[in-house]
Amino acid sequence: MKGVLYELLHDKMGVAGLAILAFLVVMSVYAAVALPPNFPKIWNNPQAWARYPKLVPPSWASIFGYKVVPQYDVYNSTPDVKLYPLTAAQVFTFTYRLEVDAFPSSQPGILVYTYGYTPFNVSYGGRSVPARPSINVTVVRPDGEVVTIATGISLNVTVNAATVASELASLWERDYGVNASIVGVIQQTPIRALFGKPVVEGGSVKIVPLRGVYKFIVRIDYFAPGVPPRLVWLTLNAGGVGVKSVELVVSGNAYGLSGTDLVGHDLALGLLYGFPVALLVGIFTAAAAVAIGLIVGIISGYYGGWVDEAVQRLIDVMANIPILPILVLVGYVVQYLYQNPWTRLFIILGVLVLFSWGGMAIVIRSMTLSIRAEPYIETARAIGASNRRIIFRYILPQIVPYAFASMVFSVPSAILTEAGLEILGIHIGLPGWGSILSSAEMNRGVAFAAWWWVFPPGILLAVTSLAFVLLGIALETIVEPRLRAGR
């Protein structure tokens, strides 16, 4: 190993390969520490990504002139308890600033979540009356217009396009002189309308961003039939009941280091999880195939006779079996038989290893035959050395460098095979570079315009493959010392 490391550190390609490999290892360790153990389950649960913007570029796209509206996700745990003529209410207020000439994302748009709701009853006239909650969300725009965007008895709401359209249409007709026929345009783009203002150009109405401060008011009313609102207010004001906190989400038009896909996945997390998955797939498959080929090749070449004949015929049969259809068939079967993604992965890798060791065995057999014919092997046998000692003392040390170099060259093939199976529809269930490319391919109608969805996983696959190719080329000097003179 010292000799291998020495050769790598004195070769430019070896140094470059080691640097990339070190980066891959560091990212893999970081992924294992930073991401939760159940991250694959989280990744495959669409509800876990409901509040993330859909199909938006990374935040650093601003350096290319993209006008970024950041994601707004704020909690408010200090409600103002108020008394109204008919109800008592908890009022949560949020301040949102739109500072660029761009709109927030329309998917998912505006979300309101309530937390810690505790139902309560109000005592009145010798009976206990349950208080019923309802929610109302309004927005005070920079131009002074007050727009109700959602109402209902469900405490978690989203923007109601019809409500926004009906309110803005009348307000814009009054304040901007726009005909109420724009209601259809508002219904199609309620988020743009809410954060914009109408401009008449060439006889048509265009909605442009309205910069400034927006005040969101989330009001949760409590009504107890037949009970004076003041008694409901007193119960609320005492604390311990009602809603504990409210979260307001206004979707940004850019997100994170790698953007998001149609589901809302934070692609940076998927790419990060892909580092350990890629190394595991590549190193496990290559090491297992090379180990089997090494053992079988030495046995075949050293013992010869019927053992050699049986091994060679087995390799001939396996070499003529197309591996891709088998992998696809096995992949589709394990998708239905096993829910655990790691079980799926190792079954597929097992099949890949099963059909990958033949070429290595043939080369190792040839090398073993050559070494076995050397005079020192006959001398060792003559003085009583056992077969085991001859194999481990004289044959194996000469073959291991070649086997190690072959293993390094085999890693990219295994990684690309796993990614290719994902693209072909064999979904293992683990987040990774192949699964991200697979989802992009399935939604190619929109994904081909989303460069942040396609290029990063492809580049990472290429860079990972390049690292092992560079290491393999550098290790050729160990296998063939005559190459050292030219470097």
Residues 449 and 478 placed together within one structural domain of the fold: yes
191 lies in the same domain as 289:
no
**Pair 30, 82 in one domain:** no
Task: Tell me whether residue 255 is in a domain.
Answer: no
% the chain with pLDDT above 90: 53
Cα–Cα dist 276/26, whole Å:
10
268-296 residue pLDDT tens:
999 999 999 999 999 999 999 999 999 99
Do 198 and 301 lie in one domain? The reply is no
Band (478; pLDDT cuts 50, 70, 90): low
455 shares a domain with 330: yes
Task: Identify the residue with better confidence: 484 or 437.
Answer: 437
Task: State the first-to-last Cα distance of the chain, in angstroms, to the nearest integer.
Answer: 21
Q: Is the domain of 26 the same as that of 92?
A: no
When divided into structural domains, the chain yields a total of 2
Residues 84, 88, 90: CA angle, nearest 5 degrees: 110
**Same domain flag for 245 and 127:** yes
Q: Of 224, 250, 276, which residue sits at a domain end?
A: 250
CATH number at residue 327: 1.10.3720
**Residue range(s) defining the domain that contains residue 202:** 70-250
In a domain, 338, yes or no: yes
| One domain for residues 184 and 271 | no
**Is position 405 within any domain?**
yes
221 and 135 housed in the same domain: yes
Residue 198 domain-assigned (yes or no): yes
Q: Which amino acid is at 216?
A: F
> Do 404 and 463 share a structural domain?
yes
pLDDT in tens, 72-84: 999 999 999 999 9
Question: What is the per-residue pLDDT across 188-226, written as a single tens digit (0 to 9) for each?
Answer: 888 888 999 888 776 677 889 999 999 999 999 999 988
pLDDT surpasses 60 at 483: no
Residues 210 and 353 in one domain: no
Q: How confident is the model at residue 484 (pLDDT cuts 50, 70, 90)?
A: low
Look at residue 125 and tell me if it is in a domain: yes
Is 397 within the bounds of a domain? yes
pLDDT at site 13:
85
In this prediction the pTM is 0.88
**65 domain-assigned:** no
Kind and range of the H or E run holding 198: strand 196-201
For residue 186, being part of any structural domain is answered with yes
Same domain, 415 and 448: yes
358-403 pLDDT, tens per residue? Answer: 889 999 999 999 888 888 888 888 888 888 888 888 888 888 888 8
Per-residue pLDDT of 319-360, as tens digits, reads 888 888 899 899 889 988 888 899 999 999 999 999 989 889
